[in-house]
């Protein structure tokens, strides 16, 4: 049974060695291990020391063995000690070819009746077994194991206690007791050994590629951990979290990269490391990573209050981080969501002569030349103030009275010969009352009075051809603001129409007087007749 176990452990170790060299490709130093993997070793037991090297270093290598720094016989990969004695105790090293010597390992040969054997090194995640070992020629019974003077309840098989996977809490002082038969009597013997379960790897720490990460930077977050030097070939897997949410699942990479970091990549980061078998798993402390703004932006308008005709300048005001003041930015402008000026290096959008239709909700957008960072300002409502109101046509008359009074059936109706004045009425903004305006008048779409400073068009003696659809137009002297009135129809009536109207009026008036007189007479006659009839009945 013991020989089978030795063979199995030896094979297992060779497989481990193969895996070690497969992962690393080359080992700087050789590593010495025991088979079977127990310490201390009982006197007269066999033990094999193995000099493990990388596959790339294997071949016709010449091996050298050392005890306590002195060369000893042996030029093979394995050094077999068939019947160990106390004289074999010491610090052993090996060397493969011209490679550096391995670290020392202690070979401890004991002659005690009973020894407690454990692996030379125990790490988190290892499967731990202990052996309460006595000389094979003695009968034994009732093996019991203790940890820190407390009985371990796990079952014991052939003097071995299989504890299973362990973590650092398994560190402690272990003891085993066994009854050994000597001269026909059983005597209780005990053996102790301190076992330290070492960290397989340190608790990870979050490390950031730069102490100051700015928007647009390539940010690399490293899950930094260190494997035990004797377990450097252990394969680890890494996972990353931001604010408790997974941002990169388990992989062999201990880095999480963000090619172009944005403000939303700020947060509380943690990482977790585990072995491929998940036998050991550790999480880092939380690390807050706060990205710095590359730039901020807002809309500014000049002047503060824009009136029609003003030169309006909208600035996409941006402040770059003090450490990134040379960054080249591009700007674009929108009004009511529609692009009014495409991306360019200018942070200003100018309107040489603002009009009412230039009013709206403005935003600007800023980006780096690569587009790695892009931001839009908040909406700014810009309302263009009227310089002057839309003009209205107003008519004033100075009638010419001759033989007959004029009767106007239609209000503001012009009669031939009237002095007609048409006014282009508009009101300037109270803040711009000194603005000089020019006026022009049209009848039926044809210019009847060109641009001038007068807002009136006068017709000293109106004729029938002066009737029509009138409009006027107002503009500033520079023509930067120009507005036209609605169409106003001005009818014209002739002198004959006046006489007809007058005769018709007289006829209507005479008719009304006649009807009124007849009505009175009829009423009077009827009243008298009724009164006389009543008198006759009284007599």
Query: Where are the CATH 2.60.40.10 domain residues in the chain?
Result: 2-194, 205-289, 295-382, 392-493
- Give the angle subtended at the CA of 457 by the CAs of 456 and 460, to the nearest 5°: 125
Q: Superfamily assignment of 2-194 in CATH? A: Immunoglobulins (2.60.40.10)
Per-residue pLDDT in tens (0 to 9) along the chain, 539 residues:
333 333 333 333 333 333 333 333 444 578 899 999 999 999 999 999 999 886 655 567 889 999 999 999 999 999 999 999 999 999 999 998 888 898 899 999 999 999 999 999 999 999 999 999 998 888 999 999 999 999 998 888 889 999 999 999 999 999 999 999 988 899 999 999 999 999 999 999 999 998 889 999 999 999 999 999 888 889 999 999 999 999 999 999 999 999 999 999 999 999 999 999 999 999 999 999 999 999 999 999 999 999 999 999 999 999 999 989 999 999 999 999 999 999 999 999 999 999 999 999 999 999 999 999 999 999 999 999 999 999 999 999 876 544 444 434 444 578 888 999 999 999 999 989 999 999 999 999 999 999 999 999 999 999 999 999 999 999 999 999 999 999 999 998 876 555 666 667 778 888 888 888 888 887 777 777 655 554 555 55
Dihedral, 304, 307, 309, 314 alpha carbons, nearest 10: 30
Domain 295-382, second-level architecture: Sandwich (2.60)
Q: What is the pTM (predicted TM-score) of this model?
A: 0.67
In angstroms, the CA 309 to CA 474 distance is 13
Contact between 78 and 49 under an 8 Å Cβ cutoff? The reply is: yes
CATH of the domain spanning 392-493, picked from 3.30.450.20, 3.40.50.740, 2.60.40.10, 3.90.180.10? 2.60.40.10
- In this structure, whether the domain defined by 205-289 belongs to CATH 2.40.100.10 is answered with no
3-state secondary structure of 532: helix
The backbone torsions φ and ψ at residue 527, rounded to the nearest 5 degrees and listed phi first, read -65, -45
Q: Assess contact for 414 and 464: CB atoms under 8 A.
A: no
Q: C-alpha distances in angstroms, 408 versus 281, 396, 435, 489?
A: 105, 14, 39, 16
Retrieve residue 374's tokens: 């892009």
Is there a contact between 122 and 181 (Cβ–Cβ < 8 Å)? no
């Amino acid at each position: 049974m013991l020989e089978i176990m030795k063979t199995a452990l030896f094979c297992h170790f060779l497989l481990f060695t193969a895996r070690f060299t497969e992962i690393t490709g080359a080992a700087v130093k050789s590593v010495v291990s025991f088979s079977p993997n127990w310490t201390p070793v009982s006197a007269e037991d066999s033990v094999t020391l193995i000099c493990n090297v990388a596959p790339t270093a294997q071949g016709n290598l010449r091996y050298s063995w050392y005890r306590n720094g002195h060369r000893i016989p042996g030029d093979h990969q394995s050094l077999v000690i068939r019947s160990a004695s106390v004289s074999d105790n010491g610090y052993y090293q090996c060397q493969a070819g011209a490679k550096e010597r391995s670290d020392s390992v202690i070979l401890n040969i004991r002659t005690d009746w009973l020894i407690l054997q454990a692996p030379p090194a125990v790490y988190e995640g290892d499967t731990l077994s202990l052996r309460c070992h006595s000389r094979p020629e003695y009968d034994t019974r009732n093996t019991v194991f203790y940890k820190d003077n407390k009985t371990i309840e796990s079952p014991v098989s052939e003097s071995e206690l299989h504890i299973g996977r362990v973590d650092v809490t398994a560190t402690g002082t272990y003891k085993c007791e066994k009854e050994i038969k000597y001269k026909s009597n059983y005597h209780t013997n005990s053996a102790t050994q301190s076992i330290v379960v070492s960290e397989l790897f340190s608790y990870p720490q979050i490390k950031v590629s730069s102490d100051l990460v700015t928007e647009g930077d390539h940010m690399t977050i490293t899950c930094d951990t260190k494997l035990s030097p004797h377990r450097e070939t252990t394969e680890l897997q890494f996972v990353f979290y931001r604010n408790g949410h997974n941002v990169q699942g388990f992989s062999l990479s201990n880095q999480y990269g963000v090619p172009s970091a944005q403000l939303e990549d700020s947060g509380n980061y943690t990482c977790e490391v585990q072995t491929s078998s998940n036998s050991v798993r550790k999480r880092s402390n939380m690390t807050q990573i706060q990205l710095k703004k590359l730039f901020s932006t807002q809309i500014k308008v000049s002047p503060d209050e824009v009136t029609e005709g003003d030169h309006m300048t909208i600035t996409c005001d941006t402040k770059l981080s003090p450490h990134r003041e040379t960054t080249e930015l591009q700007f674009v402008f929108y009004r009511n969501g529609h692009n009014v000026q495409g991306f360019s290096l200018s942070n200003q959008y100018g309107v040489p002569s603002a009009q009412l239709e230039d009013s709206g909700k403005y935003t600007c957008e800023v980006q780096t030349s690569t587009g790695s960072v892009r931001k839009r300002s908040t909406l700014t409502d810009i309302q263009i103030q009227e310089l002057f109101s839309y003009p209205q046509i107003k008519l004033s008359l100075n009638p010419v009275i001759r033989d007959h009074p004029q009767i106007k059936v239609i209000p503001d109706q012009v009669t031939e010969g009237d002095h007609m004045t048409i006014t282009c009425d508009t009101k300037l903004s109270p803040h711009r009352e000194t603005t000089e305006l020019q006026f022009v008048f049209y009848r039926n779409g044809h210019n009847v009075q060109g641009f001038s400073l007068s807002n009136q068009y006068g017709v000293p003696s109106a004729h029938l051809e002066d009737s029509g659809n009138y409009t006027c137009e107002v503009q500033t002297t520079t023509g930067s603001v120009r507005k036209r009135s609605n169409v106003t129809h001005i009818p014209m009536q002739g002198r004959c129409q006046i006489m007809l109207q007058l005769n018709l009026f007289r006829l209507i008036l005479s008719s009304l007087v006649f009807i009124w007189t007849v009505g009175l007479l009829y009423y009077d006659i009827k009243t008298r007749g009724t009164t006389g009839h009543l008198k006759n009945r009284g007599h």
